[in-house]
A = this chain, B = another copy of it.
Amino acid sequence: MARPTREEARDTRRLILDAALELFAAGGFAGTSMRQIARAVGVRESALYHHFESKAAIFEAMVMELGPGKMRRFDELDLDASLAGGLEPLLRSFARLLMEESARPREQKFIRLMLAEAPRLKDAGVLHNPMLTGMTYLTGVFEALARRGAIRPGDPELHAVEFMGPLVMLRLTYLVLVEGAPDMERLFALVDAHVHHFHDSVKPKEGTC
């Protein structure tokens, strides 16, 4: 035994991170032991310490890998080009993308873990609440949209809250806090309805009364 041959070699670091995410999401950081992680991976505890200095180091590596805000997908976006297809389709595809991503098992577990360990995130070297970071970013987007007249003028933070609030809540109720398979059909129907409702309430007023 001891060191495995090249044929048997596996990416143990990867396996540790995957097993730890699974276990942390289900039992919490403190509720998961190095022993459980080792058992899930199929190695001894001491092998874990070869890859990570401590249990906290596993958590930190996980946050570093999955954490830094997925909100920046708008960054690669040329607002003017995207707006050519219309504001509502743009918002809808963003909202659907967010939900599809959140529905992925790894993301579901990670969001659950972040919510559960929120009070301890700072100790793990995560300076800012990911939710706040996302909101700050979206606020900037709505500011830009208002500047070019794509939406009617107003408090951009309010627009960010009105747009993201229902999405965050739908994600919580349908994806994060639910157990078993989520009702994706109902979820997407509500997402589309929300986008339509939101768009209706911010689109520039047209015509005269």
Pick from B27, B129, B169: contact of A173, CB under 8 Å: B129
* Cα–Cα, bound, A30→B120 (Å): 14
**Cβ contact of A158, chosen from B164, B190, B209, cutoff 8 A:** B190
A120 to B116, CA, bound (A): 11
Contact of A193 among B135, B155, B164 (CB under 8 A): B155
Quick check: is A117 within 8 A (CB to CB) of the other chain? Answer: yes
Nearest Cβ on chain B to A134's Cβ, whole angstroms:
9
Give A190 to B179 CA distance when docked, in angstroms: 32
Q: Could you say which residues of chain B place their CB within 8 Å of the CB of A81?
A: none
Given the interface contacts A28-B30, A112-B118, does A197 sit within 8 Å of B158 by beta carbon? yes
Q: Are A201 and B190 in contact (CB under 8 A)?
A: no
Copies of this chain present in the complex amount to: 2
B-contact 0/1 string along A118-160, CB 8 Å cutoff: 1110100000010110010000000000000000000101100
Q: In terms of DSSP, what is the predominant structure of the interface of chain A?
A: helix
Task: Please tell me if A37 contacts chain B, counting CB pairs below 8 Å.
Answer: no
Q: Name the residue of chain B whose CB is nearest to the CB of A112.
A: B119
Query: Does A167 interact with chain B (Cβ within 8 Å)?
Result: yes
Residues of chain B contacted by A184 (CB below 8 angstroms):
none
Taking a contact as CB atoms under 8 Å apart, the answer to whether A169 and B164 are in contact is yes
Show 7 A/B contacts (Cβ-Cβ < 8 Å), sorted by A: A115-B116, A116-B117, A119-B179, A157-B190, A161-B166, A165-B169, A168-B169
Given contact pairs A119-B179, A131-B172, a sample of 4 additional A-B residue pairs in the complex whose CB atoms are under 8 Å apart: A30-B31, A30-B32, A115-B118, A164-B169
Name A's B-contacting residues (CB within 8 A). Answer: 25-32, 112, 115-120, 122, 129, 131-132, 135, 155, 157-158, 161-162, 164-170, 172-173, 176-179, 190, 193-194, 197, 200-201, 207, 209
